[in-house]
Structure formats: C-alpha cells, structure tokens
Structure 1
Amino acid sequence: MEYKNKRRFILGLSLLLFALLYFFKNTSNLLRVFATLAGLVSFYIFDHYFDINFELKHYLYILIIAFFGILLSPLYFLSGNYDKILHLIIPLLTGGIVFFLVNNQNLTLKWKLVTTLLFTIAILTIFEIIEFTLDKLWDLKLQGVYMRDITGLEKFNIIMDKNDDTMADLIIGILGGLIFIFYKTIKSRFNRIKWSSRRFIK
C-alpha cells in the first residue's frame, strides 16, 4: 500500500471523526477524537520513518484498537466485561502487526513466534504502566473496573480492585497473544502439509 493512499485513508478518517465530533461535541469527545487520530498518525509516522510499508490490514488493526479502546472508552463504565474482551482481542491484532515486523528478519518460525509473543507482552505491560501513571497524575480511573452509579453520571462504584484488574488484564492479554501464536503455528503447519501434498501430486 503506497504512502499516498495511507495519507488519504488517514485524512478521510480524520474528516469523518471531526464530522461526528461536530454533532456530538463536548470536551470529552474532543479528547477521545484527538487521541484516536494521534494513534493513527503516530502509526503512520512510524511506518513511513522506518520504511516498514505496513499493509492496509495493519492500519485497520490500529483503527480497531483506537476506535474501541479510545473513542468508545465510555463503554468501560457500562460493562465490566468490555475491558476484558478488549484485552483479549487487542493482543491478537498487536501480534499481527509485530509478526509482520519480525517476519522480515532472518529467524526460524519458532523464534519469530517467540519474539512476537515477547514483544506483545512488553507492549501490554507498557500500556499498564501508562495507565498506572495517568491514574496517579489525573485519576482517570484507567486501572480497576468501575460501573456508573445509578444516582449520578459522575459517580462510580469500583467492582474490581486496581491491582486485581491489572493482573487480570495482563493474564488475559497474554492469553490473547498465545492464541495468536497458536493460530500462526497451525496455519504454518497446514500450509506445509498443503505444499507437501502438491509436491507429492506433481
């Protein structure tokens, strides 16, 4: 995918998000839109600066992560399971991006998968550290599981302790990473069997 098309993709998405912001404008929405766009632009800069040439699907992965993780962040306070579902799915998408990077290296498949898993876990850990830091500075309630109190929109009840939530997020995230590794392993073996069958037929 050419960088020109990637820029058009990001620009078009930006216009769409700003259009949505116009109809649902408030400070909270504004911050979430800017954070989502910042994630996409940062990914593009990383792609362009290091000349990685990510594919369109990788941009869609980042879009999904940013859309459900940032833009729809109010859902965290409406469902206690929303955060856990994201922590299972996001490592699958992250693993796809990391594996694309690692796959260009001169490594065997086993070490590519191990490296992908370790980098995915590292990314998860970094995000948990960022959540901890932001909570300490501005009490954004990123750690812990909260539900809105029926007595007011700004009141929250904690239903999972911060430490328990962090450990649960990491465990679920690692599980998501392992699912990706399992998928790539099965896919590789299937392709190998398929290739061997074709060779045998010939």
Structure 2
Amino acid sequence: MKRITIIIFISTIILGIMLNTLDECFLQYNKRKSISLKLKKFIKTSNGAIFQAQKKYKVLNNIDEINFLTTYMKPYIKSSKIIKIKNEKGETEIFLQFQDDSTMKIKKQNCYIITYDINGTNKPNQDGADRFEFILCLNQNECKIPLNKITTNKCLKQDRKGLYNSCRFYRKKCILLIEHDNWQVKYDYPVKL
C-alpha cells in the first residue's frame, strides 16, 4: 500500500511539472502570436495614414514630432489620441495612442525614428520585448530606405544567424529578426517576452 502511495505521489508531481511546462509554452506561444499581429497591424495602419496624408499634402515635410503626429498621423487613424507622459527623467514625452492602448513615439533625426510599444505605458517597456523601433524617411538617404513608408532600418545586411545575434546583444535590432522571419516571432526568439 505504501509503495502505491509513493508511486501515485511521484506521478502527481511529474504530471504537475509537465502541465506547468505546457502552460508556460502555451503562454509564450500566445505572446509571440500577439506581438506578430500587433506589429503587422501597426505597420499597415501607420503606412495607411502616411499614404492618406501624402494624398492630401502631396509632400510630407520634415516637421517637429508633435506636428508630425497631429498633422500626418492622428487624423487618419481612427480612435487615436495624443497623450503626454513623463518619462523616468521627469521629461514630458508626446505619444500617439492607438485604440488598443499601444503607443507610437517619434523622434526627428535625418529620418524619423519611430518607437512602437505594443502595450503602451505598461511594463516591461523593454526593446525587443514590447517596444520596437522603426524608421520613416521623407528624403533620399544613404541606406536607400524606402521613402514615405514606415519600415525597419535596413542598413544592417545580415543573414538570420547574424540578425539573431544582433537581437541577443542589441535589442533595438530585434525588429530586423522579426521582419526577416516574415513578421513572426519564432520559437527561438532570443528575448524573454
């Protein structure tokens, strides 16, 4: 009787460990799928807004961040709104918040650097986990990045292994790996989600 009890006890522990592992795998799968869907939707929605703005204004000008968001993006993205949030340094930052609470921040340089956060102001706010960087160029550039289109910074030409290692060590480059994988966050994605 004692032996059967021990066997049942050990079997229960093993079953619990297996179920916990399966649950974690399922959770990670759903997170990866959700990130892929949100990234695809963001690119489609944002490029649609830029296309509409280009139809109206003919030429998109290099203007400051707030004017870019209020002139070229917000009017063409349903249920979006401009929000102001204080960062860790106490500085106020301007974001475009989408209906699903994801956010877009823009920084003007030679091209606009666009940071898309799939869960907005919620944690973890880490590059490659919930925050991804894109680029939008309005003028000719040395990398030949397509004009008037939100895309990844294609200056980095690498195969998948190189992109994987870039993502592991410099998380801002993770979006290039996701793009290479046809906008899928694969099972071997090097960042914990």
Q: Normalising by structure 1, what TM-score?
A: 0.26
Pick the structure with greater CA Rg. 2
More strand by share: 2
Structure with greater proportional helix content: 1
TM score, norm. by length of structure 2: 0.27
